[in-house]
Amino acid sequence: MATSTLHTNADRLVRTRLKAQILPAAANRVAGPDGVLQILAGQGGVVTGIPLGSPAGDWLGDHVEPGASLGHPDASANMAIRLLSCAGNPVTVLDGPASGARGMVYGKHGAVLASFAQEALARLAPGEWVAVDACGVGLSVPAISDLVCHSCSPELLGRISSLEDRVLAVKVAAILPAIAAAAGIGMPAAMFNMDMNTSAPPIAELAAHLRFGDLVAVLDQDHRTARTYRKGWAMVGVVSHGHTVGGGHGFGLMTLLTAPTDRFRFEVDAEANVSRALPLAGEERI
């Protein structure tokens, strides 16, 4: 196939600096399929010792979010953070002992998730403020008019894909069938995430090797607006949070790309991870 430069509309996108706060941590009470109630470290706060590239299923927690979870106490400002932040956007710490440290947005759950080097995370605390240089909303590839991008910065798109005869070639860590799609179906694709059925076969086996930050394709998924099943479409997302003991909530995928399946050429590559595409956060490589 002939490969050409990936031309996007990046020069027309608006860059907006957002102020976000590191959210407090949650202790989640979760009932497993056996009815036993467990109390586990949940989402939110600052999670240290789990850099991007770490196995997503190895941790005794509930929806674990590596790095720092970001939001805002004002509802309208919080909505802007959720909608305008994109994977690959730079994040700068504004106050506290880690002031000046730089990281990047890598995912979304209820919050926007940011990765930092472990030495910076060791000095971060809930309540401290960061700036997100948001850019990516409205991103498109004119050569593929039915490709829709969500929460994806131009920089990240340029590093994870290339254009081959009007087909987007994307390296992914796994290609999963539609049965992988679980909690998150029907929710807005520009925010939140879609969980995968990673606790039950066959997805448990297919996704066992996945790591935080991995790029994953799920077939027969149309994520142009609300996430839905559609034969002949596909989505690409990034593993943003860990599993839970609760049914129907496995690893969380934040949507990056969606289009008819024939607009993609997927290549399985174990190294397909946002931390390798954009090592802005200085994370250790696993």
167 with 267, same domain? yes
Query: Which residue, 136, 167, 190, sits at the end of a domain?
Result: 136
What is the tally of structural domains in the chain?
A: 2
Written as six digits, the tokens of 223 are 């994520």
> Would you call 198 helix, strand, or coil by DSSP?
coil
Domain coverage including residue 101: 13-136
The answer to the question of residue 209 being in a domain is yes
Q: What pLDDT is recorded for position 237?
A: 98
170 with 90, same domain? no
∠ at Cα 242 (236, 248), nearest 5°? 80
Q: What pLDDT is recorded for position 30?
A: 84
pLDDT in tens, 27-60: 888 887 788 888 989 899 999 999 999 999 989 9
> Would you call 39 helix, strand, or coil by DSSP?
strand
Helix (H) or strand (E) segment spanning residue 230 = strand 228-241
The answer to the question of residue 285 being in a domain is no
Q: What pLDDT is recorded for position 282?
A: 46
Question: β-strands 174-176, 215-222: how paired?
Answer: parallel
Distance between CA atoms of 129 and 72, rounded to whole angstroms? 9
Instruction: Supply the CATH number for residue 97's domain.
Output: 2.40.10.170
Q: What pLDDT is recorded for position 69?
A: 98
pLDDT in tens, 240-279: 999 887 777 889 999 999 999 999 999 999 999 999 999 8
CB atoms within 10 A of CB 138: 11
Q: What pLDDT is recorded for position 4?
A: 63
| Bridge partners (DSSP) listed for residue 75 | none
The answer to the question of residue 41 being in a domain is yes
Instruction: Supply the CATH number for residue 274's domain.
Output: 2.102.30.10
Low-confidence ranges of the chain (pLDDT < 70): 1-4, 280-286
